[in-house]
């Protein structure tokens, strides 16, 4: 049955991490989740209800979009200059003559 709370989830048994994507598209990784807890979630009729009772507030987590944003790279592999420090372009057209 589709969940009204959870869009998708995945368990990494080597790391004991449960990755959850909510309907809001926010992604969270829960640490030190036992394989038995994941198996019980998989078998649960309501994934959202199981999550709220057995995972939420029980395991440490990180929001996957936490932390600094990645630095954009140019084709040369160096970051572009900040927008407020771009060189000022000179106009090719000069003002000729005065008031006329």
CB-based contacts of 71, cutoff 8 Å, min separation 6: 79
Structure tokens at 9: 């989830």
pLDDT tens digits for range 35-45: 999 999 999 99
Tell me the average pLDDT across 50-62: 96
Domain residue ranges in the chain: 6-63
Please give the span between the terminal C-alpha atoms of the chain, in angstroms, as a whole number: 79
Do 33 and 59 touch, CB atoms closer than 8 A? yes
**pTM given for the model:** 0.63
Tell me the average pLDDT across 7-35: 97
- Average pLDDT along the chain: 79
What are the phi and psi torsion angles at 39 (to 5°)? -60, -40
């Amino acid at each position: 049955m589709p969940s009204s709370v959870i869009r998708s989830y995945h368990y990494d048994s080597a790391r004991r991490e449960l990755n959850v994507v909510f309907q809001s598209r926010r992604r969270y990784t829960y640490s030190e989740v036992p394989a038995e807890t994941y198996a019980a979630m998989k078998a649960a009729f309501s994934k959202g209800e199981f999550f709220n009772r057995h995972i939420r507030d029980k395991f440490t987590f990180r929001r996957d979009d936490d932390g600094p944003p990645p630095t954009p790279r140019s084709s040369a592999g160096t970051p572009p200059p900040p927008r407020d420090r771009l060189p000022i372009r000179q106009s090719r057209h000069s003002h000729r003559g005065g008031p006329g």
